[in-house]
Structure formats: C-alpha cells, structure tokens
C-alpha cells in the first residue's frame, strides 16, 4: 500500500479509519495539554509520568489476567498518578531539585515495570504476549471503543480548559500572584497535572511509554514558534498534534512493519524543525535575515549620520562637500555611498556630495530615535 492508496482507503476501511481517528484525537489532546506542560517548564514531567505508568500496566495484568486495554490503562493511570505525586512530594519535602526527582521516579518506576514485564513473560501462561507493545505503542490495536473513549476524554478536557482558561493562564504566568488573588493554586495545579497524566495514559497504547513525552512536547514547542498568544498556541499545538497523528499513521500504514508510535513522533519532530527554522518572528532563518539587514542598515545610517554632522554646520543643507572627507570615516565604502544615492538621501556631482532634504530629515530623525532609545 502506498500513501495514495492509504488516503483513498482511510474513509472506507474500518481499521484504517479507526486508527487514523484515534491518532488524530490523541495528537490533538496531547498538543493542547502539552502547551501547558511546556509553558510551566515541566517538559520532563510528561516523560516521568509515562515511564511511571509501566508498572501499573504490568500489575493490572497480574491482578486481573485481562489483556483488554481499558483495564491495563486504569493500572497505568493509577501508577502514573502515584509517580506524579511522589515527584511533587520529593520536590516539596526534601532538598532535591525537580530534575533529580523526575529522573529518580522515572528510572525507578520504569525499572520496576521492566522487571515485572520480564517476570510476566516467564510465566507459563499463553495470555502473556503483547504487553511489551506498551513500550513503543501499536496503533493497529486500537478499536472503535478506544477511539470513543479518547474522544470523550478529549471533550471533557476541552470543557475544563475553556471553563478554567483564565485560572490556568494566571497560574502558568505567575503562580505567587495567583495565590494572592485568592485562587487555590493547588487545585488548579492538580487539575492541569491530572489531565496531563490522563492524556499520557491515553497515548500509551498508540505511542508507548518511551516516546509519549515527545507527543506532548513536540507540537507545543512547534506552536510556540508561530504565535505570541496562549490561545492561538494551544489551538495550533492541537492541529500540529492531530496532523502528526494522521501523517504518522499514513506513513506507517503505507510502509510495512514501521511501528506507528515512532513514526508519529518523527513527524511531530519535523513540525518542530520546520517551525524552528521558518517561523517569521522567532525562526532561525528570518532572524538571520533580519540580523544581516539590520547590520547593513546600520552601516548606512552611520555614514549618513557622519554626513549629517558635517552638514549641520552649514546654513544650506545641500552645500556640497568633497567625497574625500568621507575617507576619514571608518564605516565608509563606495557601495554605501551608492546605496545612499539610490535611496535619494545623497546626490553626487563630480567628486562632491551633498545631502538631499530627505536625507537630512532622515538623518535628524535617526538621532532623535537614538536619543529616545537611550532614555
């Protein structure tokens, strides 16, 4: 199956449609909540939570013997939440910093989870296979009920977000101030964190424990490059996330044996890369272009200012001067003089130059602007 075939099948084929919808919804909800994680500088929290979910999956299987995703994901949710609150506890109750707490919980829980997985695999039970799909995810196992479940959670998440938008924004920007205004910051914090945990757990089946945090962060990091508004950022991150899901699924479905999770994450990474380079206001490319342009303008302005200094002493602004005097000025080159002529700031007659009125006014404004900036 190639990509074209995929897109013609996606609306008719039940499995493809389910998987595509599932990954799209997952991408959207992760982008939405990932924006908050990124702005709270809790990017690594997602990584810790997803790894902390692994032992929950294994324990849920050991206790119930069930392999259906809902039971296992409840286990993941519980151990994810326990991990999160331990991290919070370590940060508030001990001298350890948050990166230490995150790293500690991440590796401890993940290690314990792997231990349980190997233990399960050694058991004489035919039912054991397939748990390791939660490591890297397997979108092909998504069924319609999973997608419905994801859609409902996303809907609730969206509702809560709209309802508490003001409070979320306030907490993200200035937590101390939020407290002084009388809002219960702990409640807002737990609300955001719980939804992040929920989104991560939703994605475990599709993207897997190891790569889940990228799903959370990549669309948000990409979106931040394009806008200076929190609202637009959240919407953009959802769109980037959804598209990563769809394209990732399309590529993995059209190339046999490529697992979906990693492909989705790589597509999201491409979004990040494009955003870092091409964003008009924050992107590397335009920043470099602006930098070069500014430097050129500055050279021009310096020469113009030098000329202005000379002209200022004469009553007639168009009084001609020898080009030779400019040689005393460090920044002067023939091409800058030509550019000044092109812009109609200066006229040249023989080996004499004189400022035009436009040139004089521009130069005097230049000074005013500099003075303003110095204030």
Partner 1 sequence: MDKNIAVQVDDLTVAYNYKPVLWDIDLEIPEGVLMAIVGPNGAGKSTLIKSILGILNPIAGSVSIYGKPYDEQRKLVAYVPQKGSVDWDFPTTALDVVMMGTYGSLGWIKRPRQKEKKAALEALEKVGMLSFKNRQISQLSGGQQQRIFLARALVQNASIYFMDEPFQGVDATTEIAIINILKELRKAGKTVIVVHHDLQTVPEYFDWVTFLNVKKIATGPVKDIFNDDNLTKTYGINYKVSIQE
Residues near partner 1 (CB under 8 A) are 39, 41, 95, 163-167, 169-170, 172-174, 176-177, 179-183, 224, 227-230, 232-233, 375
Minimum gap (Å) between residue 28 Cβ and partner 1: 19
Closer residue to partner 1, CB minimum distance, 99 or 144? 99
Rg of the chain over all Cα atoms, to the nearest angstrom: 30
Minimum gap (Å) between residue 361 Cβ and partner 1: 23
What DSSP character marks residue 314? Answer: S
Minimum gap (Å) between residue 299 Cβ and partner 1: 25
Q: How many residues does the chain have?
A: 375
Minimum gap (Å) between residue 226 Cβ and partner 1: 10
Cα 285 to Cα 296: distance, rounded to the nearest angstrom: 17
Closer residue to partner 1, CB minimum distance, 95 or 324? 95
Minimum gap (Å) between residue 272 Cβ and partner 1: 17
Q: Which of 106, 100, 102 is nearest to 55 (CA)?
A: 106
Minimum gap (Å) between residue 206 Cβ and partner 1: 28
Closer residue to partner 1, CB minimum distance, 170 or 363? 170
The tokens 């030509």 sit on which residue? 338
Alpha-carbon distance values, 77 to 52, 60, 80, 201 (Å): 9, 10, 5, 6
Question: Which segments of the chain are extended strands (E)?
Answer: 321-322, 346-349, 352-355
Closer residue to partner 1, CB minimum distance, 100 or 227? 227
Q: Which of 245, 249, 270, 246 is nearest to 258 (CA)?
A: 249
Closer residue to partner 1, CB minimum distance, 71 or 194? 194
First and final C-alpha spacing in the chain: 65
Residue 353 in contact with residue 337, Cβ under 8 Å?
Answer: yes
Closer residue to partner 1, CB minimum distance, 65 or 231? 231
Write the CB contacts of 285 (distance below 8 Å, at least 6 apart in sequence): 277, 278
Minimum gap (Å) between residue 155 Cβ and partner 1: 18
Minimum gap (Å) between residue 181 Cβ and partner 1: 3
Closer residue to partner 1, CB minimum distance, 93 or 122? 93
Closer residue to partner 1, CB minimum distance, 126 or 162? 162
Alpha-carbon distance values, 21 to 67, 139, 142, 293 (Å): 23, 11, 10, 45
- Dihedral sign computed on CA atoms, order 103, 217, 153, 200: negative
Q: Which two tokens stand for residue 225?
A: 């490059």
């Amino acid at each position: 199956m190639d990509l074209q075939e995929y897109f013609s099948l996606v609306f008719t084929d039940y499995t493809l449609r389910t998987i595509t919808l599932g990954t799209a919804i997952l991408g959207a909800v992760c982008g939405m909540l990932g924006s908050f994680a990124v702005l709270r500088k809790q990017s690594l929290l997602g990584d810790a939570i997803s790894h902390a979910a692994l032992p929950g999956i294994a324990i849920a299987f050991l206790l119930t013997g069930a392999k259906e995703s809902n039971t296992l994901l409840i286990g993941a949710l519980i151990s994810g939440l326990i991990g999160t609150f331990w991290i919070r506890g370590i940060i508030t109750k001990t001298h350890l910093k948050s990166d230490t707490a995150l790293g500690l919980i991440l590796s401890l829980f993940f290690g314990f989870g792997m231990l349980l997985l190997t233990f399960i695999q050694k058991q004489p039970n035919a039912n054991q296979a397939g748990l390791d799909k939660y490591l890297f995810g397997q979108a092909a196992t998504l069924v319609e009920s999973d997608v419905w479940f994801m859609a409902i959670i996303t809907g609730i998440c969206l509702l809560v977000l709209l309802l508490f938008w003001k409070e979320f924004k306030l907490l993200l920007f200035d937590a101390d101030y939020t407290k002084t205004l009388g809002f219960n910051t702990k409640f807002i914090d737990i609300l955001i964190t719980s939804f992040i945990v929920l989104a991560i757990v939703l994605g475990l089946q599709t993207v897997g424990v190891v790569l889940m945090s990228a799903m959370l962060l990549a669309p948000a990091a990409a979106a931040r490059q394009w806008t200076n508004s929190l609202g637009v950022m959240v919407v953009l991150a959802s769109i980037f996330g959804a598209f990563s899901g769809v394209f990732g699924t399309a590529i993995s479905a059209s190339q046999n044996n490529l697992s979906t999770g990693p492909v989705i994450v790589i597509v999201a990474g491409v979004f990040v890369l494009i955003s870092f380079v091409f964003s008009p206001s924050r992107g590397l490319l335009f920043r470099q272009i602006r930098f070069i342009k500014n430097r050129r303008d500055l050279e021009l302005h310096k020469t113009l200012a030098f000329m202005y200094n000379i002209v200022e002493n004469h009553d007639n602004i168009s009084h001609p001067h020898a080009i030779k005097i400019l040689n005393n000025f460090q920044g002067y080159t023939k091409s800058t003089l030509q550019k000044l002529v092109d812009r109609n700031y200066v006229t040249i007659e023989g080996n004499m130059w004189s400022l035009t009125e436009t040139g004089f006014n521009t130069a005097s404004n230049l000074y005013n602007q500099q003075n303003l900036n110095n204030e």
